Amino acid sequence: MKSWLIASTLLCSSVSAWAKDTLVILSPHRKSIQEEYVPLFTEYYKKTFKTDVDVQWLDQGGTSDDVRFLRAKYANNKKSSGVDLFWGGGTATFMELQRDGFLDTYKLPAELKAQVPENTAGIPLYDKTHTWYASAMSSFGVFFNKKIMKMDGMPEPKTWQDLGSPVYKDNISLTDPRRSGSANTMNAIILQTMGWDKGWELLTAISGNARSFTHSSTDPIKAVVSGDVGLAMAIDFYALAKIGDLGPDNLGFVLPEGQSVLDPDPIAILKGAPNRKVAERFVQFVLSVDGQKLLLLPKGVPGGPKMSSLGRMAVNTKAYQETEGKRISPANPFTQKGFIMLDLERATKMQRVFNDLVGATLVDTHDDLKKAWKKIAKGKSVDPAKLAVFGKPALSEAEFMKLVDRWDDEVVRNQTINAWVGASRQKYKSLQ
Q: Is 253 a residue whose pLDDT tops 80?
A: yes
**How far is it, in rounded angstroms, from Cα 322 to Cα 304?**
12
Are residues 257 and 364 both part of a single domain? yes
Higher pLDDT, 6 or 432: 432
Half-sphere exposure (Cβ direction) of 165: Cα atoms closer than 13 Å = 14
Asked whether residue 127 is domain-assigned, the answer is yes
Asked whether residue 3 is domain-assigned, the answer is no
Range of the domain at 387: 140-261+343-431
Over the Cα atoms of the chain, what is R_g? 24
pLDDT (tens digit per residue) in 51-81:
999 999 998 877 778 888 999 999 999 999 9
Helix, strand or coil, per DSSP, at residue 313: strand
Q: What is the pLDDT confidence band of residue 351, given thresholds at 50, 70 and 90? A: confident
Asked whether residue 201 is domain-assigned, the answer is yes
**How far is it, in rounded angstroms, from Cα 137 to Cα 62?**
18
Report if pTM > 0.85. Answer: no
Identify the pLDDT of residue 7: 44
Reported in sequence order, the residue ranges of 289-414 that DSSP labels E, i.e. its strands, are 339-340, 377-378, 381-382
Are residues 253 and 268 both part of a single domain? no
The CATH number linked to 373 is 3.40.190.10
Q: What share of the chain is helix, strand, coil (3-state, %, to 5)?
A: 50, 15, 35
Identify the pLDDT of residue 149: 94
Q: Is 30 a residue whose pLDDT tops 90?
A: no
Asked whether residue 303 is domain-assigned, the answer is yes
Q: Name the least confident of 100-109, 124-133, 255-264, 359-368.
A: 255-264
Contact criterion met (CB below 8 Å) for 206 and 369: no
Asked whether residue 280 is domain-assigned, the answer is yes
Are residues 170 and 189 both part of a single domain? yes
Task: Tell me what the mean pLDDT of segment 13-20 comes to.
Answer: 49
Identify the pLDDT of residue 182: 81
Q: Name the least confident of 103-117, 142-156, 194-208, 343-357.
A: 343-357
Half-sphere exposure (Cβ direction) of 272: Cα atoms closer than 13 Å = 12
Q: What is the pLDDT confidence band of residue 19, given thresholds at 50, 70 and 90? A: low
Contact criterion met (CB below 8 Å) for 303 and 290: yes
Are residues 218 and 69 both part of a single domain? no
Are residues 247 and 147 both part of a single domain? yes
Are residues 360 and 317 both part of a single domain? no
Q: What is the pLDDT confidence band of residue 13, given thresholds at 50, 70 and 90? A: very low
Are residues 33 and 124 both part of a single domain? yes
For the chain, the average pLDDT equals 91
Are residues 230 and 347 both part of a single domain? yes
Asked whether residue 333 is domain-assigned, the answer is no
Q: In the 8-state DSSP scheme, what is residue 230?
A: S
Are residues 131 and 35 both part of a single domain? yes
Q: What is the pLDDT confidence band of residue 92, given thresholds at 50, 70 and 90? A: confident
Checking DSSP bridges between strand 21-26 and strand 85-87, what pairing results, if any? parallel
pLDDT (tens digit per residue) in 268-288:
999 999 999 999 999 999 999
Number of domains in the chain: 2
Asked whether residue 12 is domain-assigned, the answer is no
Q: Residue 119 — φ and ψ, nearest 5°?
A: -160, 165
Q: What is the pLDDT confidence band of residue 160, given thresholds at 50, 70 and 90? A: very high
Asked whether residue 251 is domain-assigned, the answer is yes
pLDDT (tens digit per residue) in 304-315:
999 999 989 999
Are residues 144 and 249 both part of a single domain? yes
Are residues 175 and 285 both part of a single domain? no
**How far is it, in rounded angstroms, from Cα 80 to Cα 267?**
17
Are residues 249 and 165 both part of a single domain? yes
**How far is it, in rounded angstroms, from Cα 332 to Cα 343?**
22
**How far is it, in rounded angstroms, from Cα 187 to Cα 177?**
8
Percentage of the chain surpassing pLDDT 90? 73
Name, in order, each residue with C-beta under 8 angstroms of 276's C-beta and a sequence gap of 6 or more. 84, 104, 269
Q: Is 14 a residue whose pLDDT tops 70?
A: no
Reference 244, options 331, 332, 329, 142; nearest CA is 329
